[in-house]
Amino acid sequence: LHPLRTFAVAAALGQSRRRVEGALQATMSLLSRCLGTGEDVALVLRDIGVLLVERRKVRMRFYHDFLGAVAGKENLEKGVFKIQELLDMVVPRGVPVAALTSFGSVIVFPEYVR
User: Binning pLDDT at 50, 70 and 90, where does residue 41 land?
Assistant: confident
Q: Alpha carbon of 63 to those of 19, 34, 49: distances in Å?
A: 29, 25, 5
User: Binning pLDDT at 50, 70 and 90, where does residue 101 land?
Assistant: confident
Q: Per-residue pLDDT for 48 more than 70?
A: yes
Q: Per-residue pLDDT for 83 more than 80?
A: no
Q: Per-residue pLDDT for 85 more than 70?
A: no
Write the burial class of residue 62 (CB in 10 Å: 0-12 exposed, 13-18 middle, 19+ buried): buried
Question: Which residues does residue 18 pair with via DSSP β-bridges, in sequence order?
Answer: none
Q: Per-residue pLDDT for 114 more than 50?
A: no
* pLDDT score of 113: 46
Q: Per-residue pLDDT for 112 more than 70?
A: no
Q: Per-residue pLDDT for 46 more than 70?
A: yes
| Mean pLDDT, rounded, for 76-94 | 69
For 62, what's the count of Cα atoms within 13 Å in the CB-facing half-sphere?
Answer: 14
Amino acid code (one letter) for 103: F
| Mean pLDDT, rounded, for 30-42 | 85
